[in-house]
Amino acid sequence: MAFENLTSRFQMALRRITGKARLNESDIDQMMREVRLSLLEADVNYKVVKEFTEEVKQQAYGERILKGLNPGQQVVKIVSDELTKLMGEKASDLRFNPNGITVMLMVGLQGAGKTTTAGKLANYIRKNNDKKPLLIAADIYRPAAIEQLQTVGSQLDIPVFEMGKIDPLTIVKEGLEFAKKEEFDLVIIDTAGRLHVDSDMMEEIRKIEALSKPNEVLLTVDAMTGQDAVNVAKAFNEALTLTGCILTKLDGDTRGGAALSIRKIADVPIKFSGTGEKLTEIEVFHPERMASRILGMGDVMSLVEKATAEIDEAEAMSMMEKMMSGNFNYNDLLKQMKMIKRMGKFSGILKMLPGMSTMANIDQVDDSQLAYIEAIIGSMTKDERKRPELIERSSSRRNRIAEGCGRSTTEISRLISTLDKQRKMMRQLQNMNPQNIENMAQGNFQPKESRAMRRSKNKKKGGYR
């Protein structure tokens, strides 16, 4: 996942200072050396790294930090604020035409993911801005580019305008007239990938821009290209009037340098990020939330938004009531898993929880495990799903289920244990007051000692009361 190594290195650097009651300049210098190396290894532009570290040091050297309370936490806050500022401070909104058709022009290098991103963006805007989108296939050079856009459009139920492999300017002109006639209010133009050093291709995209007069010219950048993405953005920005950038493949094995450099060096705001292969996996780029993810603090806001978008409130409340009732069974567990799957990759969801991003082997959490659990539950009888105790008591039932789904009895036992832990946890929550639940969520809850435990402690101390 994106920023994994950077997050790990940042946390190691900040851990040196967070536990200290007092800081001196040597402590801060040592931390900043680690931070600088972390950013350079993440392929962040050298100029950006230099300015960032100098700004953090200047603020961290202040009297208020060095002699204040919780100086380590204040330095972490400074680092978080500077990361946010580096990536643009706040989310950049899309520009919509208040009257008539909003036109968005997708540009970028070959292989950056423009065609898929065009479909993702159209779907996102239709869902969140109540628009009627049309995709225009203006990439006549890449083999099967038109067919790919048609496939994407078909999967999303979004119409695609195409005229085959004729002049792109003619396609765009006719497409815009078609959109006006059919009363579409959003047009997204998928153009051919081009190298910024190809003068003929760059001239063609300039003509398309002049013809279509787009409200948004969005550069699609593969986050895995690292620092070179900055050079691409600068070149396209000189040729066109870029209004924003969409970072793709942020779910891949990328070091994250593009996200931290492109806003500062190329002066192009990052508006969206692609977070997976599914056509729903695109999200608004929030600099403050990304800074929080990089520092391993999670991203609860994005997690809540994902849950709100994908899970019906009544469905969620029904599930919570069933869990709290103590009658949670395998049917309910199956429903719970399907709700989680709608929100995206399981490892991605876990990383949005504070403190989970650097948990060992989190990236090895495989969504196929959920499919195995579905298969196990599918091999149970209706009674076994409703009454988990039937399987707990019978090894023959466990053997039969294992044979039916092709999984081992060890996995069946692990699933039994998982359900049992959930039921026990819910019973404990029922007996807690709201303050205890809040403390537990923050990791501060200590279970109340029983009378027997207090007696045992007092005996060891030599006293008893």
DSSP label at residue 223? G
Question: Considering the chain, what is the average pLDDT of its residues?
Answer: 81
Taking Cα atoms as reference points, which of 305, 309, 246, 244 lies closest to residue 272? 246
Q: Say if CB 79 and CB 16 are below 8 A apart.
A: no
**What is the rounded end-to-end Cα distance, in angstroms, of the chain?**
56
Span of 62-71, 153-162, 193-202 with lowest mean pLDDT: 62-71
Mean pLDDT computed over 80-90: 89
Residue 182, classed as helix, strand or coil, is coil
Place of tokens 């990439």: 139
Confidence (pLDDT) at 177: 97
Taking Cα atoms as reference points, which of 154, 158, 148, 157 lies closest to residue 116? 148
Q: Which two tokens stand for residue 50?
A: 């230099």
Confidence of residue 443 (pLDDT cuts 50, 70, 90): very low
Q: Say if CB 38 and CB 13 are below 8 A apart.
A: yes
CA 192 from centre of chain: 27
Confidence check: pLDDT of 249 > 70: yes
Most confident of 180-184, 307-311, 338-342: 180-184
Confidence of residue 188 (pLDDT cuts 50, 70, 90): very high
pTM: 0.69
Most confident of 40-44, 232-236, 374-378: 374-378
Q: Say if CB 274 and CB 113 are below 8 A apart.
A: yes
Per 3-state DSSP, the chain is made up of helix, strand and coil in percentages (nearest 5) of: 60, 10, 30
Higher-confidence position of 425 and 401: 401
Confidence (pLDDT) at 67: 65
**pLDDT single digits (tens) 258-293:** 778 888 888 889 999 998 888 988 999 999 888 887
Residue 139: how many CA atoms within 13 Å on its side-chain side?
30
**pLDDT single digits (tens) 316-363:** 677 667 666 667 788 888 887 777 777 766 666 666 555 545 444 445
Instruction: State the helix-helix crossing angle for 228-239 and 199-212, rounded to 10 degrees.
Output: 60
Confidence of residue 441 (pLDDT cuts 50, 70, 90): very low
**CA angle 342-348-350, nearest 5°?**
100
Beta strands 102-108 and 160-161, pairing class: unpaired
Confidence check: pLDDT of 147 > 80: yes
Place of tokens 């599918």: 378
Q: How far is CA 112 from CA 116, 255, 307, in A?
A: 9, 16, 28
Q: What are phi and psi of 54, to 5 degrees?
A: -65, -40
Residue 259, classed as helix, strand or coil, is helix
Span of 207-216, 232-241, 403-412, 455-464 with lowest mean pLDDT: 455-464
Domains and CATH numbers, the chain: 4-86 (1.20.120.140), 102-297 (3.40.50.300), 328-441 (1.10.260.30)
Distance CA 309, CA 28 (A): 42
Confidence check: pLDDT of 238 > 60: yes
Distance CA 393, CA 44 (A): 57
Mean pLDDT computed over 296-300: 61
Confidence (pLDDT) at 114: 93
Mean pLDDT computed over 68-91: 83
